[in-house]
Amino acid sequence: MATTQLNQLPAPTFSWLGVNGTAREISDDLADEIVIDANDHSVSKIEISQSANVHINGGKEPQFVIEHLHAENAAVKTTIHAESGTHVKLVQIITGGAVIADLQADLADQAALELVQIYLNCADAVSAITVNMNGRKSVFTSNIGYAFADENALDINLNIVQNGKKTESDTAVRGVLRGHAKKIFRGTIDFRNGAAGASGTEQENVLLLDETVVNKTVPVILCAEEDVAGSHGATIGQIDPKHIFYMQSRGIPEAQIYEILAQSQLGSVLKQIGDTETEQYAAALLGREEQDA
């Protein structure tokens, strides 16, 4: 085991906030190698229960890969090479214990990556997502959802590097925190010099359901190019007490109210999965987590 620095914020800030990065011990065990080739079209579903390296190579046909990572203690690295004009969609459902997920993607000219990630109450999840948009007119869209409760923790570092001209990125993050859950979301849009005509948006919406949660949000824009349009936003807060009162007045028990709220908060992310079976599976997992919480 070796201690490794993870999720370093591309532009560090006030040290006392504790958001500049984290550290974990990572096992030196050999990881499984899984390759999804450009010729493997239609839907590829992968169950991962131990450390693995997953390689996805975009081809002429759209790639649709669903990873379900459910491990007690594992580090999984997924790399995506999307060649010119290719389209890759990756859905990751991440559950379990201590999980380290690392996603690195390179997008060539007019390549598109669609990412859907759902994190459900892992004991300790650390996730790094780096998307290098080197190709002209490459497109990255992501929908990220999370529901965490108990003493569990989530640490995400999303870094979108827009190098290519007229690249587009759009990130939507929706989450629910309960109990003593802790979450850090770092989301960086990095417009590099030369990325003329690029645009990037990022929005996080966090629903806090208990007074003991800890939510940290760091939405960063780095900009070295004049001709870009970037924006980010975050809304963090409670559910309107009037809504809870209304549902209680209709006879819905409090535990079920929270389940409904969590489902509705993550509903728009679940809908982006695009595979009915996986969507139902994720919805069932979400419902179970909320009942347990």
Partner 1 sequence: MKQKTQVADIDRSLYDFRYDEDAADFLSSGITPEIIREISEEKNDPDWMREFRLKSLEIFSRTNMPIWGPPVDGLDMRNIVTYIRPKSRMNTDWNDVPEHIKETFERLGIPQAERESLAGVGAQYDSELVYHNVRKEVAESGVVYTDLESAMHDPKYAEIIRKHFMKLVPPTDHKFAALHGAVWSGGSFVYVPAGVKLEIPLQSYFRLNAKGAGQFEHTLIILEENSDLHFIEGCSAPKYYEAGLHAGCVELYVGKGAKLRYSTIENWSKNMYNLNTKRALVEEGGRIEWVSGSFGSHVSYLYPMSILNGRGASAEFTGITFAGEGQNLDTGAKIVHNAPETSSHIDTKSISKSGGISTFRSAVTVHENAVGSRSSVSCESLMLDQISRSDTIPAMDIRTDKCDIGHEAKIGRISDDAVFYLMSRGMDEQSARAMIVSGFAGNVSKELPLEYAVEMNNLIRMEMTGSVG
- Contact residues: partner 1, CB under 8 A: 11-15, 17, 19-20, 191, 193, 206, 208-238
Minimum CB distance to partner 1 smaller for 211 or for 292: 211
> What are the residues whose beta carbons fall under 8 Å from the beta carbon of 58, sequence distance 6 or more?
38, 80, 81, 82, 83, 86, 87, 88, 111
For tokens 């409090």, the residue is 254
Minimum CB–partner distance for residue 193 and partner 1 (Å): 7
Give the Cα separation of 94 and 102 in Å (integer).
Answer: 12
Minimum CB distance to partner 1 smaller for 12 or for 267: 12
Strand locations in the chain, DSSP E?
Answer: 2-6, 22-26, 32-36, 42-48, 52-57, 63-82, 87-107, 112-120, 124-133, 139-148, 153-162, 168-177, 182-191, 198-208, 214-223, 228-237
Minimum CB distance to partner 1 smaller for 26 or for 260: 260
> What are the residues whose beta carbons fall under 8 Å from the beta carbon of 241, sequence distance 6 or more?
none
Minimum CB–partner distance for residue 127 and partner 1 (Å): 19
Minimum CB distance to partner 1 smaller for 27 or for 199: 199
Minimum CB distance to partner 1 smaller for 89 or for 182: 182
Minimum CB distance to partner 1 smaller for 5 or for 39: 5
> Please, what is the Cα angle at 55 between 61 and 111, to 5 degrees?
40
Question: Cα dist. 5→75, 128, 133, 214, 253 in Å?
Answer: 14, 12, 24, 22, 44
Minimum CB–partner distance for residue 173 and partner 1 (Å): 13
Minimum CB–partner distance for residue 230 and partner 1 (Å): 4
Pairing of strands 22-26, 2-6: antiparallel
| Cβ(241)–Cβ(85) below 8 Å | no
Minimum CB distance to partner 1 smaller for 237 or for 280: 237
Minimum CB–partner distance for residue 114 and partner 1 (Å): 25
Minimum CB–partner distance for residue 119 and partner 1 (Å): 19
H runs (alpha helix) in 81-205: none
Q: Residue 143 has which token pair? A: 């929908």
Minimum CB–partner distance for residue 115 and partner 1 (Å): 22
